[in-house]
């Protein structure tokens, strides 16, 4: 194969990759997620609601959207954080006395200026497998304790958002593959220029 043919193939691959990047950025209905972030505090009588996505390669969890926060403003490790514990175990977590323990929530409080006093957090399972791809967390119940109905409502929300959150989870995996592919294309282009 001659150099011109190879350059044409690389150009076509680069174009396809760019189209995929644009499509991947559009996946995940962020408006729907933000809608739930906006209404859940009112429905559950809490200060905040957040949706987190697992990044298994980095062994951390990042914020997709949350009350008063922007995407990826909060990143926490899977070990040592409540959200990470929920994602790792696949089990919900309730803590009505967060101020009595030291943890990752204290670091987040320093970053955001928001102090967490209590939380209810539920996992979001994958549609296609038993793995957990994210979590939904509510913070600071304004009166009383979290109820079984609160947990049931968050579980239902997690179930309804499974497809959307898995789409975001898969998008991040595809984005990493895209970066790797881009690096390989650049390497091939450099090799072609040197020959």
Kindly calculate the radius of gyration of the chain based on its CA atoms and give it in whole angstroms: 21
What is the structure's pLDDT at 21? 58
- 52-73, pLDDT tens digit by residue? 988 877 888 888 889 988 887 8
Helices and strands: H and E segment counts in the chain: 6, 6
| DSSP one-letter string for 69-80 | B-TTS-EEESSS
What residues are paired with 51 via a beta bridge? 65, 136
108 is a domain residue: yes
Query: Does 180 fall in a domain?
Result: no
- Residue 50's nearest CA partner among 62, 15, 175 is 62
Residue 97 placed within a domain: yes
Domain count, the chain: 1
| Half-sphere exposure of residue 153: CA atoms within 13 angstroms, side-chain side | 17
Q: Which candidate, 160, 147, 100, 95, places its Cα nearest to that of 121?
A: 95
Residue 7 within any structural domain of the chain: no
Which of the residues in the chain have pLDDT under 50?
none
Domain holding 73, by residue range, is: 30-167
What pLDDT, on the 0 to 100 scale, is given for residue 102?
81
Whether residue 21 lies inside any domain: the answer is: no
Closest to 70 in 3D by CA, of 34, 117, 106: 34
Is the separation of the CB atoms in 35 and 49 below 8 Å?
no
User: What pLDDT is attached to residue 117?
Assistant: 93
CA distance 132 to 53: 9
Asked if the structure places residue 25 within a domain, the reply is: no
CB 166 within 8 A of CB 64: no
């Amino acid at each position: 194969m001659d150099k011109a043919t190879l350059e044409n193939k690389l150009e076509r691959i680069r174009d396809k990759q760019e189209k995929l990047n644009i499509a991947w950025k559009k996946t995940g209905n962020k408006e729907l997620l933000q809608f739930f972030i906006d209404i859940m505090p009112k429905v559950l009588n809490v200060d905040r609601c957040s949706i987190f996505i697992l990044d298994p390669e980095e062994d951390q969890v990042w914020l997709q959207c949350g009350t008063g926060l922007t995407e990826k403003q909060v990143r926490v490790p899977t070990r040592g954080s409540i959200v990470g514990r929920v994602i790792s175990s696949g089990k919900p977590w309730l803590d009505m006395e967060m101020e009595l323990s030291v943890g990752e929530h204290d670091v987040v409080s320093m970053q955001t200026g928001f102090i967490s006093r209590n939380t209810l957090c539920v996992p979001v399972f994958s549609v296609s497998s038993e793995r957990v791809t994210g979590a939904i967390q509510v913070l600071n119940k304004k009166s009383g304790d979290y109820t079984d109905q609160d947990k049931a409502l968050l579980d239902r929300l997690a179930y309804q958002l499974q497809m959307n959150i898995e789409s975001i989870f898969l998008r991040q995996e595809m984005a990493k593959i895209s970066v790797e592919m881009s690096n390989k294309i650049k390497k091939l282009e450099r090799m072609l220029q040197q020959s």
